[in-house]
Amino acid sequence: MHRQPVGSINDSGHLVIGGCDTVELTKQFGTPLIVLDEAVIRESCRLYREAFRKHYPQGQVVYAGKAFLCTAMCRLVEQEGLFLDVVSGGELYTAMKAEFSPEKIFFHGNNKTQEELEAAIQYGVGRIVVDNPYELRLLEPLTKKKKKPIIIHFRVTPGVEAHTHHSIQTGQSDSKFGFSLLDDTLFKEIRNVIRFPRLKLTGLHCHIGSQIFDQKAYQKSIEVMLRLIKNIKVKTGAVVQELNFGGGLGVRYTQDDAPPSIEEHIEIVTKTVRRESTALGLPMPILYDEPGRSIVARAGVTLYTIGSIKEIPKIRKYVSVDGGMSDNPRVALYDAKYESVLANRFKESQTEKVTIAGKCCESGDILQKDVMLPKVKSGDILALFSTGAYHYAMASNYNRLPRPAVVLCKEGKAEVIIRRETYDDLIARDVVPDHLNHKVRIRSR
Backbone angles phi, psi at 174, to 5 degrees: -85, 80
Interaction of residue 108 with ligand PLP, rule CB under 6 A: yes
Q: CA-CA distance, 252 to 293, in Å (whole number)?
A: 10
Determine which residue in the list 23, 41, 67, 128 makes contact with ligand PLP, applying CB under 6 A.
Answer: 67
Q: Is there a contact between 343 and 382 (Cβ–Cβ < 8 Å)? A: yes
5 touching ligand PLP, by CB under 6 A: no
Residue 290 interacts with ligand PLP (CB under 6 A): yes or no: yes
Residue 127 binds ligand PLP, judged by CB under 6 A: no
The residues that are catalytic are: 361
Instruction: Name the minimum Å distance from CB 419 to ligand PLP.
Output: 25
List the one residue from 21, 37, 38, 85 that touches ligand PLP (CB under 6 A): 85
Q: How far apart are CA 284 and CA 32, in angstroms?
A: 47
Cα distance between residue 179 and residue 187, in whole Å: 10
Judged by CB under 6 A, which of 17, 25, 35, 64 binds ligand PLP? 64
Burial of 3 per CB tally in 10 Å (0-12, 13-18, 19+): middle
* Shortest distance, position 49 Cβ to ligand PLP, whole Å: 16
Q: Which is nearer to ligand PLP, 388 or 404 (CB)?
A: 388
CA distances (Å), origin 200, targets 51, 62, 136, 255, 322:
30, 20, 12, 46, 51
Q: Is 368 left (phi over 0), alpha (psi -120 to 50) or beta?
A: beta
Residues with Cβ within 8 Å of 362's Cβ and at least 6 positions away in sequence, in order, are 325, 332
CA 289, CA 103: separation in Å to the nearest integer? 16
For residue 247, the minimal CB distance to ligand PLP (Å) is 3
Instruction: Tell which one of 207, 298, 359, 391 touches ligand PLP (CB under 6 A).
Output: 207
Contact 240, 232 (CB under 8 A): yes
Whether the Cβ atoms of residue 181 and residue 158 lie closer than 8 Å to each other? yes
Q: Which of these, 270, 227, 264, lies nearest to 249 by C-alpha position?
A: 264
Binders of ligand PLP in range 139-168 (CB under 6 A):
none
Stretch that binds ligand PLP, among 61-69, 305-313, 406-414, 433-441 (CB under 6 A): 61-69
Closest to ligand PLP by CB, 48 vs 56, is 48
Please tell me the distance from the alpha carbon of residue 122 to that of residue 181, in angstroms, as a whole number.
32
The Cα 49–Cα 45 span in angstroms is 6
- Give the shortest CB-399-to-ligand PLP separation in angstroms: 27
CB closer to ligand PLP, 155 vs 220: 155
For residue 298, state whether it binds ligand PLP (rule: CB under 6 A): no
Least separation in angstroms between residue 106's CB and ligand PLP is 9
Number of residues lying near ligand PLP (CB under 6 A): 16
Distance of alpha carbon 280 from alpha carbon 183, whole angstroms: 22
Per CB under 6 A, the list member of 44, 157, 169, 210 interacting with ligand PLP is 210
Among the listed residues 291, 300, 358, 388, the single contact to ligand PLP using CB under 6 A: 291
Residues between 218 and 277 that touch ligand PLP (CB under 6 A): 246-249
Sign of CA dihedral 95, 48, 290, 254: negative
Q: Does 293 bind ligand PLP (CB under 6 A)?
A: yes
| 391 counts as binding ligand PLP under rule CB under 6 A | no
| Closer to ligand PLP by Cβ: residue 161 or 421 | 161
128 within 8 A of 89, measured Cβ to Cβ: no
CB of 161 to ligand PLP, least distance (A): 15
Closest approach, Cβ 342 to ligand PLP, in A, equals 29
Binding-site member from 59, 292, 323, 324 for ligand PLP (CB under 6 A): 292
- Residue with nearest beta carbon to ligand PLP: 292
| Buried residues in 352-376 as b, exposed as e (16+ CB within 10 A) | eebbbbbbbeeeebbbbeebebbeb
The binding site for ligand PLP (CB under 6 A) comprises 64, 66-67, 85, 108, 207, 210, 246-249, 290-294
